[in-house]
Amino acid sequence: MRWWARSRLRTKIFIAFSALLLVVLLATLALTQWVVSRETQRTLNAELLTTGQVFDGLMTERAARLETNSILLASDFALKRVIATHFDPSTYDRATLASAALSYQSRIGVELFWITDEAGVLLANSGVTRQGRRSLAEFSPLKEALESQQAAGAIAEVDGVLFQLVAVPVFGPDVIGFLLLGQPIDDVLAKRLKLATGADISFLTQDRIFASSWPAPARDRSVPAGEHRSALLGAQAAQRTALLTVASERFLALVVPIHAHLAHPLYALVQGSYDKALAPLRALQRQIAAIGTAALLIALLIGVGLARGITSPLQTLVGGMREILRGNLGYRSQIARDDEIGFLAKSFNEMVGGLQEREHIKDTFGRFVSRDVAEAVLSGRVPLGGERREVSILFQDIRGFTSLSEKLDPGALLRLLNQFFTEVVAAVEAEGGVVKQFVGDGVMALFGAPQAHADHPERAVRAALGIVKRLSELNELLGKQGVAPLEIGIGIHSGAVVAGLIGPDNRVEYGVVGDPVNLASRVETLTKDVHATVLVSREISARLGPEFVLGRTATLPVKGKKQPIEVVEVLGLAANASIPLKI
């Protein structure tokens, strides 16, 4: 998430505000979608269940009407006389019986009208053709009527057409025959049911559609087929609704089992288009989305203004902070507000004022002590009780300074010393050292305190070589001014000292005490005796790397020490070892 961390505050506020509003809008739309979908499914489910009940009632009523018409017709005396003619071959006329069947069929308005004898052999028929005196004793519902000698009903297939059938016995007074009446279950019936209920109905088995309210071109597309149909019919043994997708359109379907005498179970599939039912409600969703989008845009504009109101003064403060980082401690914020941002701006100005005062103190302090020492003291890095440090101490002295001071007037002498000390300080600070004090024509410098450096011996020697190099350049300039060249001696020693603030409470200074300080001063004094410019103790030379070129070694007595010390001359760095460093 680096891009987020690097983004401006205004961008973050805008994105967060926009994301919150967008989440609220999407949540509202999702909740609306869920409520609308649930209510639509519940309403459509109730309608389909009602359609199933209407369908059951209609089929029951149809069967009852068929049975009533059949029983009334079986009581007709004229029909009994016609049927009884089959007992006397001399009076039996098949054409007359067929004509009578056609007449009675038209009278009661049925599609199928069959007459059989008392054994179930077909005597006459109309509506659906079955030729000859064929036995229908095993055909339902005639089979049930033969067994019970009472009216029986069933749904069966006749010549590829699905019929709702009723078989009734004709008594005269014994059973002289049977009437078989039927109404087709076809597309006409399905469409009538659709007009009555508003849902599409199909009569089908797993492998065949007998009738449907769907138009023929849309039937194969709207009614599930194959494995989908088998799964739907198998899962809906009871009257429950299911949501299914057929040809990219969603339907809520109700499967109603129908008792029928067929090779496979018969069902009535009642379908209502779920997507069409949702269409009016989707318009509501679009209106909500439009209103929400407009509200989102307005809120975003408000968010932009809000973000700008917050970030504009903050950007001003950020600009002020950049000015401070560039060193412009005179900058002050002009934000005048009474809120939290105003308090922040006021605190910012007070902080900058404190920094300016601190910098002034540091600059003033730095004119009398090293800047590193000033920073260490101001930051509290110098322990009040002192500390033991391993340091390297450098002493430098100008040779023949007494005779030189007699030749120059005081002003010229001070200018000369200041020029020289400027070069000395630059060389010492370049190596992380601290000029501890100026002693007449000499300098005392520390390496390793107050800022610790593990390589303080090498730093001290490099600083000494830097002083020698800078002095050579200064002497060239002095020669042009008619001033005799300066000669110096530098002595360096390393050891453990106690470093800290030294002096009374009202006037202290940072310093180091210990025998290594005195010994470093004695090493500098020995430079005159051996005529060397840079002289170091054995403690220093032992810690110098191969890049330093060493010269003569001597063991000399020193004042204040019972044992002589070993000193080593440093000639320079390996790159310019051939250049003599004697001045």
R_g of the chain computed on alpha carbons = 59
Comparing C-alpha atoms, which of 38, 35, 39 is closest to residue 27? 35
Contact status, residue 442 vs residue 395, Cβ threshold 8 Å:
yes
Model pLDDT, residue 511: 82
Range of weakest confidence among 115-119, 178-182, 260-264, 281-285:
281-285
How many angstroms separate the CA atoms of 457 and 480, rounded? 36
Contact status, residue 566 vs residue 555, Cβ threshold 8 Å:
yes
Model pLDDT, residue 578: 40
Q: Dihedral of CA 127/133/138/144: which sign?
A: positive
Structure tokens at 375: 């920073």
What are 499's strand-pairing partners?
A: 387, 512
Helix (H) or strand (E) holding 255: strand 249-258
Choose between 48 and 477: higher pLDDT: 477
* Model confidence pLDDT, tens digit, residues 88-146: 777 777 788 888 888 888 888 888 888 888 898 888 887 555 555 688 889 999 899 99
Comparing C-alpha atoms, which of 70, 103, 71, 98 is closest to residue 85? 98
Phi then psi for 335, rounded to 5 degrees? -70, 125
Range of weakest confidence among 38-47, 168-177, 386-395, 455-464:
38-47
Give the model's confidence band at 375: pLDDT under 50 very low, under 70 low, under 90 confident, else very high: low
Give the model's confidence band at 373: pLDDT under 50 very low, under 70 low, under 90 confident, else very high: low
How many angstroms separate the CA atoms of 155 and 442, rounded? 130
Give the model's confidence band at 372: pLDDT under 50 very low, under 70 low, under 90 confident, else very high: low
How many angstroms separate the CA atoms of 125 and 181, rounded? 10
35-43: list long-range contacts, CB under 8 Å, 24+ apart.
36/278, 36/281, 36/284, 36/285, 37/278, 40/274, 40/277, 40/278, 40/281, 41/243, 41/252, 41/274, 43/277
How many angstroms separate the CA atoms of 177 and 201, rounded? 37
- Indicate whether 249 pLDDT > 70: yes
Highest mean pLDDT among 219-223, 255-259, 534-538: 534-538
Q: What angle do CA 502, 504, 510 make, to 5 degrees?
A: 25
Model pLDDT, residue 540: 93
- Indicate whether 38 pLDDT > 80: no
| Residue 126 CB partners (closer than 8 Å, separation 6+) | 98, 101, 102, 105, 112, 113, 114
Q: What angle do CA 164, 169, 171 make, to 5 degrees?
A: 155
Choose between 297 and 188: higher pLDDT: 188
Per-residue pLDDT averaged across 313-325, rounded? Answer: 76
* Integer CA distances (angstroms), 471 to 163, 395, 422, 424, 486, in order: 128, 15, 11, 8, 8
301-307: list long-range contacts, CB under 8 Å, 24+ apart.
303/13, 303/14, 303/17, 303/18, 303/21, 304/14, 306/13, 306/17, 307/9, 307/10, 307/13, 307/14, 307/17
* Model confidence pLDDT, tens digit, residues 212-228: 988 888 887 788 888 77
Helix (H) or strand (E) holding 99: helix 94-108
| Dihedral angle over CA of 59, 60, 65, 71, nearest 10 | 130
Residue 428 Cα to chain centre, angstroms: 55
Q: Dihedral of CA 467/472/473/479: which sign?
A: positive
- Which residue ranges form the domains of the chain, and what is each CATH number? 64-184 (3.30.450.20), 327-366 (no CATH), 384-576 (3.30.70.1230)
Q: How many Cβ atoms sit within 10 Å of the Cβ of residue 333?
A: 20
| Residue 445 CB partners (closer than 8 Å, separation 6+) | 393, 394, 396, 424, 428, 433, 434, 435, 436, 460, 463
- Indicate whether 356 pLDDT > 80: no
Q: DSSP of 383-424, one letter per residue?
A: -TT-EEEEEEEEEEEEETHHHHHHHS-HHHHHHHHHHHHHHH
Q: What angle do CA 14, 19, 25 make, to 5 degrees?
A: 130
- Indicate whether 577 pLDDT > 50: no
Alpha helix segments (H runs only) across 223-273: 226-235
Q: Dihedral of CA 551/557/558/564: which sign?
A: positive
| Residue 250 CB partners (closer than 8 Å, separation 6+) | 243, 244, 273, 274, 275
127 SS3 class:
coil
Structure tokens at 260: 């029928």
Measured distance between the N- and C-terminal CA atoms of the chain, rounded to whole angstroms:
63
Give the model's confidence band at 160: pLDDT under 50 very low, under 70 low, under 90 confident, else very high: confident
* Integer CA distances (angstroms), 276 to 44, 77, 108, 252, 281, in order: 11, 56, 41, 11, 10
Structure tokens at 70: 């059949």
DSSP annotation of 345 reads H
Q: Is 169 exposed, middle or buried (0-12, 13-18, 19+ CB in 10 A)?
A: buried
How many angstroms separate the CA atoms of 153 and 136, rounded? 15
How many angstroms separate the CA atoms of 508 and 374, rounded? 12
Looking at 152-199, which runs of residues are DSSP E strands? 152-158, 161-171, 175-184
Model pLDDT, residue 9: 64
Amino acid at 483: V
Helix (H) or strand (E) holding 556: strand 548-556
Range of weakest confidence among 194-208, 274-288, 343-357, 526-540:
274-288
Q: How many Cβ atoms sit within 10 Å of the Cβ of residue 313?
A: 18
Per-residue pLDDT averaged across 259-278, rounded? Answer: 83
Unique residue bearing structure tokens 């069929």? 105
Q: How many Cβ atoms sit within 10 Å of the Cβ of residue 349?
A: 15
Please state the pTM of the whole predicted model. 0.46
Model pLDDT, residue 390: 93
Highest mean pLDDT among 295-299, 382-386, 500-504, 530-534: 530-534
Q: How many Cβ atoms sit within 10 Å of the Cβ of residue 536?
A: 30
* Model confidence pLDDT, tens digit, residues 405-427: 888 888 888 889 999 999 999 99
